[in-house]
Amino acid sequence: MASSRKQLAAAAGNGTIGTAANLYSASGTASTDTVISSIVICNAGSSAATYRIAINTASATYAAGKYIVYEASIAANDTIALTLGLIMDPTARYLNVSSSSTNVNFSVYGSENTP
Flag whether the pTM goes above 0.85: yes
At 55-99, the pLDDT tens digits run 999 888 898 899 999 999 999 999 999 999 999 988 889 999 999
Q: Is the dihedral of CA 101, 95, 83, 40 positive or negative?
A: negative
With beta carbons less than 8 A apart as the criterion, state whether 96 and 20 touch: yes
Q: What share of the chain is helix, strand, coil (3-state, %, to 5)?
A: 0, 60, 40
